Amino acid sequence: MDVIEAMETCSAARYLKPDPVPQELIERVIYAATRASSPGNSQEWDFIVVRNPEAKRKIRDLLAPRFKAMRAEIPTTGQVTNRMLAGAMHLAETLNEVPAIILVCGPVAYPPNAPMEQFVWSALYPAAQNLIVAARSLGLGTTFTTFNMLIENDLRELLGVPKEIKFGVMIPIGWPQNDFVKVKRKPIAKVIHWDKWSD
């Protein structure tokens, strides 16, 4: 699959089948993630792959009620938002059924002589983007989530993650229940500024 086609059709997959994903495919998408750029080629990223059924159940039990409470505070602004929130709620309630949950994380470690937190995200987000595009090329469904923000302390305790490690995103991965569709984005004419800023 052409990489641009993978990007164009890398729609959020919030409805995943429980069918297992072979370990070699998970390793392949993480290999792709680690081809990303990072500050000073520091490569300060880690990937926690949660496959244990009991651990996934505990994550679901912690997350679902908190996400439900948060969702109740979000104003409904239209059909697209409602559909996204419904999908996110479904995902939160069924996290125990997805084949694997990947947490993209890493330490504050760059520059070595005076590490600054902002550089962590410059490594983790490109890696996460590579991961989801690679997954799409293999027919696997993923979606970026910030579910980790709602249960960060619990995740640390459950998975033994040191305090100095920052969580970037939580990415469920599995075979999608629905077909991939082209993502809807603004025309590039609305976001390109040639030579200088323009309205």
Q: What is the CATH number of the domain that holds 22?
A: 3.40.109.10
In a domain, 155, yes or no: yes
In a domain, 57, yes or no: no
Separation of alpha carbons 177 and 139, rounded Å = 11
In a domain, 21, yes or no: yes
In a domain, 41, yes or no: yes
Q: What is the reported pLDDT for 4?
A: 96
- Nearest Cα to Cα of residue 54 among 132, 158, 140, 141: 158
> What's the order of all strands across the beta sheet hosting 141-142?
46-50, 100-107, 165-174, 141-142
pLDDT tens-digit readout, 19-75: 999 999 999 999 999 999 999 999 999 999 999 999 999 999 999 999 999 988 887
In a domain, 66, yes or no: no
Q: What is the reported pLDDT for 74?
A: 81
Residue 82 has pLDDT above 90, yes or no: no
Number of structural domains (the chain) is 1
In a domain, 152, yes or no: yes
Confidence of residue 79 (pLDDT cuts 50, 70, 90): confident
Backbone phi, psi, residue 169, to 5°? -140, 160
For residue 176, give every residue at least 6 positions away whose Cβ sits within 8 Å of its Cβ, in sequence order, or none. Answer: 13, 15, 16, 17, 140, 141
Domain of residue 17 covers 3-52+98-190
In a domain, 25, yes or no: yes
In a domain, 91, yes or no: no
Q: Is 15 helix (H, G, I), strand (E, B) or coil?
A: coil
Mean pLDDT of 169-186: 97
Residue 81 has pLDDT above 90, yes or no: no
pLDDT tens-digit readout, 87-143: 999 999 999 999 999 999 999 999 999 999 999 999 999 999 999 999 999 999 999
